[in-house]
Amino acid sequence: MRCPECKHNQRHKDGTRCNKCRYQFVFRKKEDRISDFALRQTVQRLSDNGQQAFTTTQLALAICRLWRKKTLGPVGCGVVAIVVSAIVGLFVFREWSWWGGALILAVLLPLAIWLGRREKGKLPFEKARKIVDQYHQAHPIQALADGTAFRRQAAPLNLQDPHYAPERILVVERDELVDMLIRNRFHLTAKAVVVSRTGYPEPVFAACREFLRNHPDTPVQLVHDASTQGFALASQLADESKWRFARARLSDLGISKAALQRGATLPWLSTRRFQRNGAFGGNPAKMLRAGYRVPLDYVGPKPLIGLLSAAVVGGALLLAPEALSAAGAEVESDYG
């Protein structure tokens, strides 16, 4: 085990506290599939060395991508099948080595490719989320946005400040997304007031009513998960009395159904209790019918802020393949 604090290496049998700095280890890699050191490195990469806040979903997906990178895919499993077939053909079918090897390969190769695809498609999100919760309890993650930051203190937002001058109101689906965006100063760079569909933070939501009364042409833009619930969110808000003040200016930026048709390996998370695992990739229509969703925060904070900044100006949230690739490159390295 490698200590994330002092980099000291020690064996598990030597104890669960670092012999040098007394850091309390949380995980055992053989059992949890991740080490404390690897998780700390993932946090550092996702937060840009502590400069960016992120959500639990973003960190859990980063862990899942780390596991996925270490899984043999169709190509890797196919190579293993070829090697096994060659060895068996040479040593078992000595007189008909080539024919025997070819016969075994014909059986093993399709099976190996199928197994590789299945393993690459697995997304054990609940296991990763529990790992985040477990580590956060033992060693609080300062960069983790949990949707409570502005219940304890006022949001750094003054709608009457002439230097701020918001040009739009952005509504997100979950409270933790508000924390993540405000802590990363998205509200300043995009000149947007950020609130959640529940009206969090309450003082900011109350100020939005007054601001929209004085500036009725201010657009109210909504972003949400790609899910049956998310697609219906604009209609739900329009019917709710607390959002009546924004009904005339409300526009849905996505994630839209059309944005899902790009062929990228999107992470699908289950919305049902009995479906614990998600999946990487899949037919969007089938996944939506089966009760899965693509979360808005499916990429790290930097790529997401880039996509949202473009969306509030362009009028639609696009799931750019290059953003997906950049997000994966940020987190898929295990140093433990």
State how far the Cα of 91 lies from the Cα of 100, in Å rounded to an integer. Answer: 10
pLDDT tops 90 at residue 260: no
The region that residue 196 occupies, defined by phi over 0 for left and psi between -120 and 50 for alpha, beta otherwise, is beta
User: Is position 86 within any domain?
Assistant: yes
**How many CB atoms lie under 10 A from the CB of residue 220?**
21
- 50-53 long-range contacts, Cβ below 8 Å, gap at least 24? 50/142, 50/143, 52/143, 52/184, 52/300, 52/301, 52/302, 53/143, 53/144, 53/145, 53/179, 53/180, 53/183, 53/184, 53/301
Q: Determine, yes or no, domain membership for 51.
A: no
Task: Judge whether residue 74 has pLDDT over 60.
Answer: no
- Please name the residue ranges forming H helices in the chain: 29-32, 36-46, 56-69, 74-91, 97-121, 125-138, 149-152, 175-183, 186-189, 202-214, 228-231, 233-239, 284-289, 301-314, 321-331
What pairs with residue 220 in β-bridges?
169, 250
Give pLDDT tens digits for 290-311.
999 999 999 999 999 999 999 9
Residues 101, 242 share a domain: no
- Confirm whether 314 is domain-assigned: yes
Q: Is residue 152 part of a domain?
A: yes
CB 280 within 8 A of CB 122: yes
Q: Are residues 188 and 265 in the same domain?
A: yes
**Pair (114, 240) in one structural domain:** no
Q: Which residue has the higher pLDDT, 35 or 273?
A: 35
pLDDT of the residue at 13: 81
Residue range 185-206: mean pLDDT, rounded: 90
Of residues 325 and 84, which shows the higher confidence score?
Answer: 84
Residue keyed to tokens 């990469």? 45
Give the domain-ending residue among 100, 118, 136.
Answer: 118
Q: Which helix (H) or strand (E) holds 222?
A: strand 220-223
Domain housing 18: 1-28
Tally Cβ neighbours within 10 Å of residue 306: 15
What is the per-residue pLDDT across 125-184, written as a single tens digit (0 to 9) for each? Answer: 999 999 999 999 999 999 999 988 887 666 555 555 545 678 899 999 999 999 999 999
In a domain, 67, yes or no: no
Q: 195 and 297 share a domain?
A: yes
Q: Indicate the average pLDDT of the chain.
A: 80
Are 98 and 214 in the same domain? Answer: no
Same domain, 111 and 200: no
